[in-house]
Chain A
Amino acid sequence: QVQLQESGPGLVKPSETLSLTCTVSGASISSYYWSWLRQPPGKALEWIGYIYYSERTNYNPSLKSRVTISIDTSKNQFSLELSSVTAADTAVYYCARSKTMVRGVQKFDPWGQGTLVTVSS
């Protein structure tokens, strides 16, 4: 079955760039849509953005100026970079797949277990 696993530093300093990687197993990344989401402590889940295997991207307008999502089909991985982080970016970060982004059919399935990233000096 398809499995996703997030990896990356658990601690990032303010003003620096947060970088995470999601490794996909059990399926080729060369299809479908691959998203990053996050959940700050005590807050709702927030969709950050997605990349399609053709490298087409779509970002949440609330984060668009600071987000870059990229894909490496040779490694079956996709990555997140979030620049100029502050304490407000402290969250559990998840990666997830969507087979489509068509209205009404879109859903996130499956997800990774998530990784906690803390922004602190």
Chain B
Amino acid sequence: DIQMTQSPSSLSASIGDRVTITCRTSQSISNYLNWYQHKPGKAPKLLISAAYSLESGDPSRFSGSGSGTDFTLTISSLQPEDFATYYCQQSFSSPWTFGQGTKVEIK
């Protein structure tokens, strides 16, 4: 199985801050990486697919980058509705695997 390592596991940030979350995979996966946003009590939501393709309707302050084994999710200017847990997931091979998550909290 492909191992996924996300960092940090949590972070505190203020409104307007630039936030960066990283995801590292145990083997090269090209750009086959998805990002999800999960708010408590809600269904997890696909945010970015194929490393950098933002889902339709999602704000452009979210961006993804990376290829190979190192990937990044960036929130350019944190908004109140962005406080959530973010997960990466590899779509390179089954079984599909996820990172441990990064909880973004209010400072």
Contact = CB atoms under 8 A, between A and B. Distances in A.
Given A104-B92, A107-B91, A44 B32 contact: no
B101 A109 contact: no
Interface in A83-110: 94, 96, 101, 103-110
A34 interface: no
Contacts, number: 69
Interface string B92-107: 1111111111000000
B43 A114 contact: yes
Interface string B30-74: 111010100001111110011000010000000000000000000
Contacts of B32: 103-104
A111 B41 CA distance: 12
Contact of B96 (A61, A62, A106): A106
B89 interface: yes
B91 A105 contact: yes
A115 B7 CA distance: 27
Contact of B30 (A47, A104, A114): A104
Nearest to B95: A60
Interface residues of B: mostly helix, strand, loop or mixed?
loop
Contacts of B1: 62
Contact of B46 (A4, A61, A103, A107): A107
B41 to A, nearest CB: 7
Given A58-B94, A61-B95, A94 B31 contact: no
A108 to B, nearest CB: 7
Given A104-B30, A104-B92, A45 B87 contact: yes
Interface of A: 4, 43-47, 58, 60-62, 94, 96, 101, 103-114
Interface of B: 1, 4, 30-32, 34, 36, 41-46, 49-50, 55, 87, 89, 91-101
